[in-house]
């Protein structure tokens, strides 16, 4: 596909990621000849501004894709499974933001700064990886190439409540306000425990091996994106009382001996990721979630040689999971097309 204007569809247009996709399309001047916004029947008829005009949302149906070139899906796995095939049958290339097709061997799983060439293998569907996987690999990939390949990863994620959608934010806000006023906490609807002033070491459901589905995504998706079939990842995902942007603490073991200086140089030369790391400044310099919120790039700091494992570095990476972890990555895939 050329950079001629395209008829673009966004499925799940009224959700947080859908709205962010529209923002990215505007900011990056994506060549849109026509825009079709799709959502559930209850959202049909709403209008969303795009490039100075109000675009009316239509109900998503199997017949929604006539004349569409590219469809960005961000409405959940069940919706993707139900409607992506109809889009492909209509000649549309689908960029899917759910987990529905990520591990399908016929569907490329793409982070444009890491494996853009995989887009060429698509058969109608391209998958967006999990947000925590994207943020972690944006920092890890330059070191993966610099130090003879990554062998294994031990990581803990600190995931913002916006990863649960708007309801996660509302639940945190409601609890904080109730505690500040000395009132009883409102009924929990999103999390199994109080999230205000607390952390919850569970994101997603548990699997038979004791890890959650979210934690296993980095293990399997990392192998596919990096083309590293032997990569192993042991991950603990934690929900924290932060509104937006995920953080990940990573220890990575490489085939060759790494150095902090070479790691910083490799990251500095890579697109979409920056080093913010000066622990010996008067006020130590390192990135926090707020530093990455509403930004395109992932930020890396606290890079140091691991004291336990050989050929290992430990580092900290933050990124806006709504943007680079979802909407922006999907738009970048569409740009690759």
**Which are the catalytic amino acids?**
131, 246
CA dist 317 and 274 (Å) reads 10
**Strand order, beta sheet including 246-254:** 232-239, 150-159, 246-254, 312-319, 298-305, 273-275
E strand intervals along the chain = 6-11, 32-39, 47-50, 53-59, 70-73, 93-96, 125-127, 150-159, 232-239, 246-254, 273-275, 298-305, 312-319
Structure tokens at 240: 């924290």
- The torsion angles phi and psi of 315, rounded to 5 degrees, stand at -150, 170
CB atoms within 10 A of CB 88: 17
Tally the residues of the chain. 337
Alpha carbon of residue 267 to chain centroid: 19
Query: Which positions ≥6 away from 131 have C-beta within 8 Å?
Result: 163, 246, 319, 321, 322, 325, 326
The answer to whether 147 and 165 have CB atoms below 8 angstroms apart is no
CA dist 6 and 279 (Å) reads 47
Structure tokens at 140: 């890890």
């Amino acid at each position: 596909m050329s950079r001629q204007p395209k008829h673009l569809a966004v499925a799940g247009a009224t959700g947080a990621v859908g709205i962010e996709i529209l923002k990215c399309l505007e900011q990056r001047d994506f060549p849109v000849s026509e825009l079709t916004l799709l959502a559930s029947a209850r959202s049909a008829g709403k209008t969303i501004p795009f490039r100075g005009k109000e675009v009316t949302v239509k109900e998503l149906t199997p017949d929604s894709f006539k004349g569409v070139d590219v469809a960005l899906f961000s409405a959940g796995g069940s919706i993707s499974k139900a409607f992506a095939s109809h889009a492909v049958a209509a000649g549309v290339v689908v960029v899917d933001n759910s987990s529905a097709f990520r591990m399908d061997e016929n569907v490329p799983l793409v982070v444009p700064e890491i494996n853009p060439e995989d887009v060429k293998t698509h058969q109608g569907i391209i998958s967006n990886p999990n947000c925590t996987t994207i943020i972690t690999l944006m920092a890890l990939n330059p070191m993966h190439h610099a130090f003879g390949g990554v062998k294994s990863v031990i990581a803990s994620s600190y995931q913002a409540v916006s990863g649960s959608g708007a309801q996660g934010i509302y639940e945190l806000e409601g609890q904080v306000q109730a505690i500040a006023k000395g009132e009883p906490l409102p009924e929990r609807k999103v999390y199994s425990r109080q999230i205000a002033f607390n952390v919850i070491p569970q994101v997603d459901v548990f699997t038979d091996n004791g890890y959650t589905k979210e934690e296993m995504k980095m293990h399997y998706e990392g192998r596919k994106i990096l083309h590293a079939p032997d990569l192993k990842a042991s991950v603990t995902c934690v929900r924290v009382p932060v509104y937006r942007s995920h953080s990940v603490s990573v220890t990575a073991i490489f085939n060759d001996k790494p150095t902090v200086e070479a790691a910083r140089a490799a990251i500095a030369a890579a697109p979409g990721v920056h080093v913010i790391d000066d622990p010996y400044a008067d006020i130590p310099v390192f990135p926090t979630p707020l530093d990455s919120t509403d930004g395109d790039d992932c930020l890396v700091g606290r890079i140091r040689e691991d004291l336990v494992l050989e050929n290992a570095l430990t580092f900290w990476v933050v990124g806006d999971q709504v943007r680079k972890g979802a909407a922006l990555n999907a738009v970048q895939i569409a740009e690759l097309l």
